[in-house]
Structure formats: C-alpha cells, structure tokens
Structure 1
Amino acid sequence: MRKTLVFLSLIILTFLSCEKDDFCTQNPVTPNLILRFYDDSNRETLKVVDNLYVWAEGKDSLFINASLDSLFIPLNSAATETVYNFSKNNIINQFTIQYTIENEYISRSCGFKVIFNDVNFASNNTWITDFEPATLTVEKQTEAHVQIYH
C-alpha cells in the first residue's frame, strides 16, 4: 500500500511540474505595409511594375528584377520613419513613410505586436504619379494600405 501511495504521488508530482507549451499562433504578429500598383489612366485596373528593384534607405535590395502588382514591405519598428527606393527601368522614386508606434501585448509566447498609427506617405513622384493612402493605421495584413498609380 505504501509503495502504491508513493508511486501515485510521484506520478501526480510529475504531471503538476510540467509547464504548458506556449506557441504563437499569430504569424506574423507585426504587420507589413501592403502596396498595390494601379494604372494611372484607369485607376481601377491593377498594373504590373516591370523590372522593379526595391530597397530601404541604407539597406540591400528586397526584390531584384521582379514584375509585381503588389508588394509587402516591412516598416522599421525601432524608428518613426522608413524610406524606400523603388526603381523602375533605372528611374528611382523615393517613398517615405512616417508613423507613430504603439506596442500591443499579444501573449507570453508571441510577445508584443507593433501597430503603426498616424501613417503619412510622401513621394518625389518620378515614375509614381500619385498614391492614395487607404488607411492611417497599419494593424492588419488583410488588404492593401496604399494604392500607387503609375
């Protein structure tokens, strides 16, 4: 009887000492900025950008010789501004994104999520003729945040 009681106690202590596994199910937590490229003459029609090179100021290129109608780019969560260069056929357009940062606690396993508020866009409009911010907050990655016309 004593051996059985000791054995049961050890089993109970073993199960009580186990920690719950934490997995972050929200991936990615911090959203990227989503850009969609449209035809300037027909603003409802998506338009592919041929030979697109993209790089953040002071960084290497993200996409080399890509042809895209949409682009996901990360924003710098350690700063309040991110500057990207978009090159199309060797014509460079500088696109500046300014924002404020809000950290939101998600869970112990995921940590914090960065939400970009008060987002403002500026461009030197070389090959990009116009753009429309669709939102002033970048919190999710479910739809485009900016429509770029070229």
Structure 2
Amino acid sequence: MKKSSLLFILLIIIGIGISISCESDDICPESTPTTPSLIIEAYDAENPTNSKAITKLVIGGIGNDKTLTNGIISATKIVLPLKTDANTTQFALIKDAFINDNGTPDDTSDDYYDGNTDKITINYSREEIYVSRACGYKTIYRNVTFTIVPDTDNWIKSRQSLNDNQSVEDESETHYNIFH
C-alpha cells in the first residue's frame, strides 16, 4: 500500500512540474508591429496644403498580375507593401481607371484595367529585426527613395519625402506625399 501511495504522490509531483514548465502557445498578437508598408498621402498640386483624393484608382504591382486594390477606389492615403526579398519595388497607379473589355463584352477573361497609368519605383535597403519567438523577424526599410517614371501624361506631378534619409519602420506615419 505504501508503494502505491508513494507512486501516486510522485506522479502528482511530476505532473505539477510538467504543467509549470510548459509555456502557453506562442501566438503573435495582432497588435505587434510587423513588416511595415510605405504610406503615401495625396495632395492638390495647385494648392499643396489641401488633401486631394485620387479618383477611380487601381494599384498594381509591376512584375506580378495582382492588384492591391479591391476594384476601383478613391483615396487620399495609399498603403504600399514593399518587397522583403529585393531592394526595389515597382507599382502601377492607374487614375481614372475603368475596365476595358477589349472589344468582347461577353468575355471577361480578356478584360483589364485601363486609364492614366503612372509607374513608380521605390528603392531601399532592408534590415531584418528580431521581434519575438512567436512573431519572428520583421523587415524595416532604410534610405527609401521614390521615383516617378516619366511618361507623356504623368498625373503625379511631384513627390515629397517627409524626412531626410527616409526610412519605413512603422505604419503610424506618412512617409511620402504626392501632388496631383
């Protein structure tokens, strides 16, 4: 009888020790800052202190077939994700966008967005920063530059960095202003 009582007490002690040493699941909280996106705000080129919505906007990444906007939108603030595996990201920003049915209104497979397209190039250097075991690493971007690719009909007239040696470390602040 004493052996079974001793074994029972030993099992309880081992069980308590195991439950104390176990950690809760490592889950990265949604509130934890991760790799930030580039924030751009739009202003009126004629009156630079006034915010001005970009009408009928579609944003797409250059080098892939994905659009960042869910359809055609109007916006005064643009959030652009930057590549974490390259030092350059390019986007096509289409103002006054519409769906071109390519002359085949009954066939949507050949439809595409059309309008006044301006292409922009974002260059930067990347730095990985450890966040936590649950969240892993995040990338921050240093020495960020923003170039408007010239064409015959640029709707983006100019851009302005809000800081010298612009970096993108969080999404709580605007990084660039564009004027159109």
Shared fold (TM-score greater than 0.5)?
Answer: yes
- Cα displacement (A) at 1:146: 0.7
- Distance in 2 between residues matched to 1:79 and 1:70, nearest whole Å: 24
In structure 2, what is the equivalent of residue 23 of structure 1? Answer: 27
- Distance in 2 between residues matched to 1:17 and 1:145, nearest whole Å: 45
In structure 1, what is the equivalent of residue 156 of structure 2? Answer: 128
Structure 2: runs of 5+ lacking an equivalent: 97-114
- Cα displacement (A) at 1:67: 0.6
Instruction: State the one-letter code of the partner of 1:29.
Output: T
In structure 1, what is the equivalent of residue 107 of structure 2? Answer: none
In structure 2, what is the equivalent of residue 113 of structure 1? Answer: 138
Distance 1:3 1:124, change over 3 A: closer
Q: What is the number of residues matched between the two proteins?
A: 150
- Distance in 1 between residues matched to 2:75 and 2:58, nearest whole Å: 10
Worse-superposed segment, 3-12 or 134-143: 3-12
- Cα displacement (A) at 1:27: 4.0
Secondary structure at the counterpart of residue 13 of structure 2: helix
- Cα displacement (A) at 1:3: 5.2
Secondary structure at the counterpart of residue 138 of structure 1: coil
Percent identity, aligned pairs only, is 31
Structure 1 or 2: more strand by fraction = 1
Instruction: State the one-letter code of the partner of 2:87.
Output: T
Instruction: State the one-letter code of the partner of 2:94.
Output: S
In structure 1, what is the equivalent of residue 62 of structure 2? Answer: 57
Instruction: State the one-letter code of the partner of 2:156.
Output: I
1:86 aligns with 2:93: yes
Secondary structure at the counterpart of residue 49 of structure 2: coil
Show structure 1 runs of 4+ deviating over 3 A: none
| TM-score normalised by L of structure 1 | 0.91
In structure 2, what is the equivalent of residue 77 of structure 1? Answer: 84
Decide which structure has the larger Cα Rg and report it: 2
- Distance in 1 between residues matched to 2:72 and 2:6, nearest whole Å: 75
Instruction: State the one-letter code of the partner of 2:53.
Output: V
Secondary structure at the counterpart of residue 45 of structure 1: coil
In structure 2, what is the equivalent of residue 45 of structure 1? Answer: 50
